[in-house]
Structure 1
Amino acid sequence: MNAEPVRLTSLAHGGGCGCKLDPAILRSLLARQPASGAFDRLLVGNETADDAAVWALDDGTCLIATTDFFTPMVDDPYDFGRIAATNAISDVYAMGGRPLLALAILGVPVGKLPPEIVARILDGGASLCAEAGIPIAGGHSIDTPEPIYGLAVIGTCRREQVRRNSDARAGDRLILTKPVGVGVYSAAIKRSGLGEDGYAEFVATTTLLNRVGADLAADADIHAMTDVTGFGIIGHGLELARGAGLRVVIEAGVVPLLTQAETLARDGFVTGASHRNWSAFGGDVSLPEGFPDWRRHLLTDPQTSGGLLIACAERSAAAIRDRIRTVGYPAAAIVGRVEAGPAGLRVEAPTDRAPSATA
């Protein structure tokens, strides 16, 4: 009799970017770390919640360095490898750069995972890196209680094209390039509550490279970028607000959602990370009266390999959104704005009015 196939998700307590540390704990840990400002060439370090470090070279080129890894959110090892690789490379795109090479990070519960499954994880990561046009040039592996996979990624950009998450300006509009709902889909996968169509949609969005970020960085009307991952659109929007010392407004009714996200959220497919995110960020977030829990859960939903959140000049917002849609991100939408005021985030309730020309 053949043994039952190993379910990767059964070996992990959480999955994808939902297994990030509680954001409140992370902030307290980072606050204890020494400031990195003593290095003149370090343009982006740990002083803000940016997606990657940036180091200036002699010729106006900058080196971008990042690392990202997590436990499985799907049972297919090849898909797990592809999703983890896409997510790690995204940090380079979010800074306005192009990736050059990657190093693999692998943790395997020895004795629980057959070698052929581990090989499929690595194959998935390699295939996605090939799609991004970069090699996996090495890596490191250890014996761990849970499966872990990800990448350290090196990229480059011109100094004038570095895009931080802290440079938004009052009056900017906010564009999100991918739909929200990856976390609730992941919760449904773990409880066998997502059908084939939903799974295909889940894999398609989490393996869509955010390569548009490298092209957008050449546009002077793009002021700030970040990718929306484990802290949800509220958490990463709040990081953008804190970095700029401004108020971010999210228009809940126009945030793009995966097709089954509302139904799943209403049915209780919510991750523990969504609750942790709200506990950590809710004190700095203003919600409209009577705002339903399912909508709040989607705004704090942890996104694994989510889209880019872009702050851009209002005059160019509609054209930039249309350009993003044209190059392969059909769900891209203008989801909010940046206002003068104390750093924080306000959510606007959906209305019945027709969307504006820039929505």
Structure 2
Amino acid sequence: MYETSYSLTQYSHGAGCGCKISPQVLEQILHSEQPDQKFPELLVGNHSKDDAAVYDLGNDQALISTTDFFMPIVDDAFDFGRIAAANAISDVYAMGGKPIMAIAILGWPVEKLPASLAQKVLEGARSICAEAGIPLAGGHSIDSPEPLFGLSVNGLANHKDLKQNNSARVGDLLFLTKALGTGVLSTAMKRNLLEPDHFQPFIDQLVLLNKLGATIGKIEGVHAMTDVTGFGLLGHLLEMAEGSGLSAEIYYAAIPTLPGVKEYISKRIIPDATFRNWNSYSSHVGFAKGVNVMEAFSLLPDPQTNGGLLISVDPNMAHKVREQLSEAGLIQYLEPIGRMVLAGDKRIMVQ
């Protein structure tokens, strides 16, 4: 029987991690007048801007717990499920952990979209969970005005392998394991302007698990790590720099981009979330002479969905990171995109 074709992105006002509330507004939401309660076993919580919460289980074991969900970034239901699942699981990898179990979070406009599409979303998520070697063990669903999907994920890590985003050191080199531009390309797709040749590289990156994090977490010289998602490279690097009490330099020419991204930027195909991001932290960013500021403004705050790992590593141990990138087939990301420096007038200097 013929089934009507549905384009999921036409049923939501946002897309992927671009749905995130801006850093500036999020600060207001998280502010609390209540006294801070102490939980000795809570190793990582709201006191830092990290990727997940971490709880001490004893015996050198830590539980990593995270949740992430958003509205469709692509039109295909199966791909949407894969992307949302990969994005949520990556928070565990970003802290050097190994995921062990996932629970689904589903919101579905049942009077607008058939249940069969929601089933495909879950099938996509199951395929990624299987790739990560974990069960999709249950979940919760609601009837919502717009489709949304994600996972709550738990993982484990040894204390010594746990990586946070606020422990970078002066002189560390910065590596990025995926190209930028998913926000730009998702906007082009939603406007029916995405070129066919640019579609598959876009999807391939969105569904790629950041499994490398569990391995890189074991490298002693890796001082800090996070993943680049809805706040863009600038936003997540700013969290790393501020949390570490340092500044960062970015080598703009070394920033990898997905095929077609700069072409779309030149045509002003940019998600609204880019402007929200920039307005939240522009005062902390400076540009050296010679940098194409208009292009950089559109690229560096571009909200990423399931973006790459941002790794801060001792230069003397950078070869270990390069070895892991090479073994994973990520040879295009072997060169650093910047370094951590003493705190200056600007938290981030783009040069």
When normalised by structure 2's length, the TM-score is 0.96
Structure-1 separation of matches of 2:217 and 2:2: 52
Contact 1:175 1:321 in 2 (8 A): no
Structure-1 separation of matches of 2:233 and 2:33: 26
Amino acid at match of 1:114: P
1:330 corresponds in structure 2 to 331
Contact 1:35 1:47 in 2 (8 A): no
Residues 23-47 of structure 1: per-residue CA shift (max 9 Å, x gap)? 1000122232757660001000011
Contact 2:66 2:154 in 1 (8 A): yes
Shift of 1:314: 1.1
1:24 corresponds in structure 2 to 24
Distance change >3 Å, CA 251–CA 17, structure 1 → 2: same
Partner SS, residue 106 of structure 2: strand
**Alignment map for 1:331-346 (pairs within 5 Å):** 331-332=332-333, 333-342=335-344, 344-346=346-348
Contact 2:287 2:293 in 1 (8 A): no
Structure-2 separation of matches of 1:129 and 1:261: 29
Shift of 1:322: 4.1
**Alignment map for 1:258-297 (pairs within 5 Å):** 258-289=258-289, 291-297=292-298
Structure-2 separation of matches of 1:9 and 1:221: 42
**Alignment map for 1:146-295 (pairs within 5 Å):** 146-289=146-289, 291-295=292-296
**Alignment map for 1:65-104 (pairs within 5 Å):** 65-104=65-104
1:137 corresponds in structure 2 to 137
Segments ≥4 residues shifted beyond 4 Å: 1-4, 33-37
Contact 1:17 1:302 in 2 (8 A): yes
Amino acid at match of 2:171: G
Partner SS, residue 194 of structure 1: coil
Contact 2:242 2:347 in 1 (8 A): no
Distance change >3 Å, CA 344–CA 308, structure 1 → 2: farther
Shift of 1:342: 4.3
Amino acid at match of 1:177: T
When normalised by structure 1's length, the TM-score is 0.93
Distance change >3 Å, CA 35–CA 87, structure 1 → 2: farther
Contact 1:36 1:45 in 2 (8 A): no
Partner SS, residue 310 of structure 1: strand
2:299 corresponds in structure 1 to 298
> Percent identity among equivalent residues?
44
What 5-or-longer segments of structure 1 have no aligned partner? 350-359
Structure-2 separation of matches of 1:35 and 1:258: 45
Distance change >3 Å, CA 341–CA 37, structure 1 → 2: farther
Distance change >3 Å, CA 36–CA 63, structure 1 → 2: farther
1:12 corresponds in structure 2 to 12
Structure-2 separation of matches of 1:226 and 1:192: 32
1:317 corresponds in structure 2 to 318
Shift of 1:3: 7.5
2:52 corresponds in structure 1 to 52
1:347 corresponds in structure 2 to 349
Number of equivalences: 349
Residues 257-303 of structure 1: per-residue CA shift (max 9 Å, x gap)? 11211111111110001111100010111122463312221101000
Contact 1:81 1:121 in 2 (8 A): yes
Amino acid at match of 1:225: M
Partner SS, residue 9 of structure 1: helix
Shift of 1:343: 8.0
Residues 186-221 of structure 1: per-residue CA shift (max 9 Å, x gap)? 011101111332111111001111011011111110
Structure-2 separation of matches of 1:239 and 1:68: 18
Partner SS, residue 10 of structure 1: helix
What 5-or-longer segments of structure 2 have no aligned partner? none
Structure-2 separation of matches of 1:149 and 1:33: 32
